[in-house]
Structure 1
């Protein structure tokens, strides 16, 4: 590979990392603003998978773009407010240049719909697969693994997990 070809390859990989990071920022924005829930589907591959792991793994993985959009349409029934903060990005582009995997540490604030006074803090990791479709990147698989879901008022020292569906608490 010539020096010019090597530089082109490096620039393409850097552009892919940038595009994927921008995709995740847009994902977080659409999750929180909920302006047009159907539009979140544009960020996913047709056969995408959304999977929760850890304590929040109360449901099986959701398979397919349409099913994922339906999942997000139902979120306001569970969480009336969310604010995602993504940090510590680590994106690895595959050797083919058309697949990638990325991890983000996540801090999310949420209010439950069943009890508006219940304010939760979620600490989690996104571990996602991406695929290039034409000239744009889309989400192929989301793995959302929580490390803590606790009431803001009680803190993580007392309560480590709160079930989003039942609000049952698990002590630290």
Structure 2
């Protein structure tokens, strides 16, 4: 492989890695806004037609199970868009990103997820999961082909995450 071909491959891999990361970050951004009447089309556009979404480990396998195909994934997410609202607040934080471009059309990544949720019934929870995600270039974009989440911990929190009290600031 010539030096120019090597450089082209390195740039292509860097762009693919960036696009894979952007795909998962967009997935999390959309999940932060799941609510009554939420339009699932932008979220579903992030998945390949034959995608798999699964929870692993004792807690997540039982809670979420395994969904095969975009329509099965849509059905799972549709539950969160029906009244009554499930979340009052939901924020996903991603860290410890590691992305590997496997070929011109396949990549994989892992992240540690931290999720802060306040549910519509007033309960709050702090959760962490390990995400292992495979991506495939499909329809000209990197899309999720296999999303796997494994619970690290889940902990109830006694007060809602968003406190309506004014923020403390220094006096003028």
TM-score by length of structure 1 reads 0.82
Who is 1:41 aligned against? 44
CA distance in 2, matches of 1:117, 1:60: 26
**Structure 2 unaligned spans of 5+:** 160-172
**Structure 1 unaligned spans of 5+:** 155-172
State which structure, 1 or 2, has the greater radius of gyration over its C-alpha atoms: 2
Select 1:73's aligned residue among 64, 78, 94.
78
Work out whether residues 90 and 102 of structure 1, in 8 Å CA contact, stay in contact via their aligned partners in 2.
Answer: yes
Q: How does 1:23-172 map to 2 (within 5 A)?
A: 23-34=23-34, 35-54=38-57, 55-58=59-62, 59-76=64-81, 79-80=86-87, 81-94=89-102, 96-113=103-120, 116-153=121-158
CA distance in 1, matches of 2:85, 2:115: 14
CA distance in 2, matches of 1:46, 1:13: 24
Q: Secondary structure at the match of 1:137?
A: strand
TM-score by length of structure 2 reads 0.82
Work out whether residues 128 and 142 of structure 1, in 8 Å CA contact, stay in contact via their aligned partners in 2.
Answer: yes
Per-residue Cα deviation, 1:23-49 (whole angstroms, up to 9, x for no partner)? 011000111123422321100000101
Who is 1:164 aligned against? none
Tell me which of the two structures has the higher relative contact order, counting C-alpha pairs closer than 8 angstroms and 6 or more residues apart.
2
Per-residue Cα deviation, 1:120-159 (whole angstroms, up to 9, x for no partner)? 11111110010001421000010011110110239xxxxx
